[in-house]
């Protein structure tokens, strides 16, 4: 049995945290492939190493002296190495970083060094092989992750080693230039490694004991989720649940590799299992609630819209022409509403509105801003009558007006649209109705 284990930045922020991670890995010989993040915050007012690297490179890019800032980053790693009592020097690595910063190697190169350096330390601490992610993760010329080429290269390369450390967050173009995933991309690296070695389990270690039914910043002490399906997590991750990067689900889902979300600071906790399918029933009718603020609704009206072939395509063409993706499209006989991200839409709104008028010739267009979308997700909803009614009743009780409701054909989710100002109130009300 083989396990891939990924550790987040908070799990590797200091020598003390590194020791916890080392104990976790050594406690199970099946934990053979390790994916580390860059050091995170040691305390609330601290700065993540990735952010320090971004700041340092900004100075280099502006042709300003960055030596003091780079030395501060070097000191963070010296502190970890000293605390682990390792005979390891990073002098040559930091000299190379300084030269590449002066040569303007790019923001992606700068950001990737946090994981790269932590990977070297982790490999030395565990006695594992260090594998630079730039050698085994490929991006296409247009910056897209090349899954097929990466799988081919990584499967062959990692097959040489029974134990290895692969830094998270970055890979490289064919010519060797560094390219990063989006923030939180170490989750993706872990999933890619798990697929490449055909792991039995992908353990994702962080600072929480699994996935929670709601955001703990909104709901006090939300119930944990013991088992969740890939589909349910995908819905929750897309709508803002941030335990696992949403793109990390796809590589392991293809191979049906279960993910176990675990807590570095409480390794005995069971955490959350993420699986393809399960016969285990949810403890509650819903599995979880998540949401995002910052949407706007473009309301389009036209008499006899329903009988006009191609009307919807013409409307969406206007959004496509200006590079704007839509979130939801609830509609009626003579009305159609397109929900979009407000920050993407606001600078292009008049151009899009003009295009809709030109292409679809509606009777009127109205725009409503400052909206939030909330997803109520759960595989148990399919077998339960009155789920939507419970949502409506809960929101009515706290005087929250529903702007939109959309239920997916899988009957695993209900999307609710509310005003931004009602976002937290709505989540608390829905949680109370189903969990409490």
Neighbours of 323 (CB within 10 A): 8
pTM (predicted TM-score): 0.82
Averaged pLDDT for residues 93-108: 98
Per-residue pLDDT band for 231 (boundaries 50, 70, 90) equals: confident
Averaged pLDDT for residues 62-73: 98
* pLDDT above 90 for 237: no
Judged by DSSP in three states, 257 sits in: coil
For the structural domain made of 288-434, what CATH number should be given? 3.30.2130.10
pLDDT (0 to 100) of residue 276: 86
pLDDT (0 to 100) of residue 278: 82
Averaged pLDDT for residues 388-411: 88
* pLDDT above 70 for 46: yes
* pLDDT above 90 for 345: yes
pLDDT (0 to 100) of residue 410: 65
Judged by DSSP in three states, 22 sits in: helix
pLDDT (0 to 100) of residue 29: 96
* pLDDT above 70 for 77: yes
pLDDT (0 to 100) of residue 382: 75
Q: Which of 107-116, 275-284, 311-320, 386-395 has the lowest mean pLDDT?
A: 275-284
Query: Is the pLDDT higher at 276 or at 311?
Result: 311
Assigned token pair, 348? 């292009």
**75-78: long-range contacts at Cβ-Cβ below 8 A with a sequence spacing of 24 or more?**
76/39, 76/49, 76/52, 77/39, 77/117, 77/118, 77/121
Asked if residue 134 lies in contact with residue 168, where contact means CB atoms within 8 angstroms, the answer is no
10-26 tens-digit pLDDT: 999 999 999 999 999 99
* pLDDT above 90 for 264: yes
What's the fold here for domain 3-207? Carbamate kinase (3.40.1160)
Assigned token pair, 235? 């819905």
Per-residue pLDDT band for 409 (boundaries 50, 70, 90) equals: low
Q: Which residues contact 251 (CB under 8 A, 6 or more apart)?
A: 147, 188, 191, 192, 194, 195
Residues facing residue 270 across a β-bridge: none
Assigned token pair, 98? 């300084």
Across the chain, mean pLDDT equals: 93
Burial code of 225-253, b = ≥16 C-beta within 10 A, e = fewer? bebbbbbbbbbbbbbbbebbbbbbbebbb
C-alpha angle with apex 131: 126 to 135, nearest 5 degrees? 170
For 355, left (φ over 0), alpha (ψ -120 to 50), or beta?
Answer: alpha
* pLDDT above 90 for 379: no
Range(s) of the chain covered by CATH 3.40.1160.10: 3-207
Of 106, 168, 164, 97, nearest in space to 137 by CA: 168
Asked if residue 190 lies in contact with residue 248, where contact means CB atoms within 8 angstroms, the answer is yes
Range(s) of the chain covered by CATH 3.30.2130.10: 288-434
DSSP state, residue 261: E
Neighbours of 7 (CB within 10 A): 28
136-174 tens-digit pLDDT: 999 999 999 999 999 999 999 999 999 999 999 999 999
Rounded distance, CA 273 to CA 257, Å? 11
């Amino acid at each position: 049995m083989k396990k891939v284990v990924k550790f987040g930045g908070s799990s590797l922020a200091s020598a003390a945290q590194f020791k916890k991670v080392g104990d976790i890995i050594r406690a199970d010989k099946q934990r053979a492939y390790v994916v580390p993040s860059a050091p995170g915050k040691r305390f609330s007012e601290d700065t993540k190493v990735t952010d320090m690297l971004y700041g340092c490179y900004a100075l280099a890019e502006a042709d300003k002296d960055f030596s003091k800032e780079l030395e501060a980053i070097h000191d963070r790693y010296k502190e970890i190495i000293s605390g682990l009592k390792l005979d390891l020097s990073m002098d040559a690595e930091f000299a190379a970083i300084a030269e590449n910063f002066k040569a303007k190697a790019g923001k992606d190169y700068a950001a990737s060094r946090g994981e790269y350096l932590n990977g070297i330390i982790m490999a030395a601490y565990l006695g594992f092989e260090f594998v630079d992610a730039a050698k085994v993760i490929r991006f296409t010329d247009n910056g897209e992750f090349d899954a097929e080429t990466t799988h081919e290269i990584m499967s062959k390369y990692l097959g040489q080693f029974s134990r290895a450390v692969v830094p998270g967050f970055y890979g490289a173009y064919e010519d060797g230039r560094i390219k990063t995933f989006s923030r939180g991309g170490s989750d993706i690296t872990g999933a890619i490694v798990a697929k490449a070695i055909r792991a039995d389990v992908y353990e994702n270690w962080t600072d929480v004991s699994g996935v929670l039914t709601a955001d703990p910043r909104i709901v006090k002490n939300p119930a944990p989720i013991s088992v969740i399906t890939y589909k349910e997590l995908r819905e929750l991750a897309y709508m803002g649940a941030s335990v696992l990067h949403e793109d990390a689900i796809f590589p392991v889902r293809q191979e049906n590799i279960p993910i176990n979300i675990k807590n570095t600071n409480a390794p005995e906790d069971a955490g959350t299992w993420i699986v393809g399918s399960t016969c285990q029933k949810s403890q509650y009718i819903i599995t979880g609630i998540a949401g995002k603020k910052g949407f706007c609704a473009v309301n389009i009206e036209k008499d006899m819209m329903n009988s006009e072939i191609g009307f919807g395509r013409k409307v969406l063409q206007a959004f496509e022409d200006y590079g704007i993706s839509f979130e939801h499209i609830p509609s009626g006989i003579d009305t159609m509403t397109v929900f979009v991200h407000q920050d993407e839409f606001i600078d292009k709104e008049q151009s899009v509105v003009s295009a809709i008028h030109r292409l679809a010739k509606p009777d009127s267009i109205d725009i409503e801003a400052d909206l939030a979308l909330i997803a109520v997700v759960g595989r148990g909803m399919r077998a339960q009558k009155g789920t939507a009614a419970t949502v409506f009743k809960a929101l009515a009780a706290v005087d929250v007006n529903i702007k939109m409701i959309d239920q997916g054909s899988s009957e695993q989710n209900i999307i609710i649209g509310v005003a931004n100002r009602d976002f937290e109130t709505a989540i608390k009300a829905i949680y109370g109705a189903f969990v409490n």
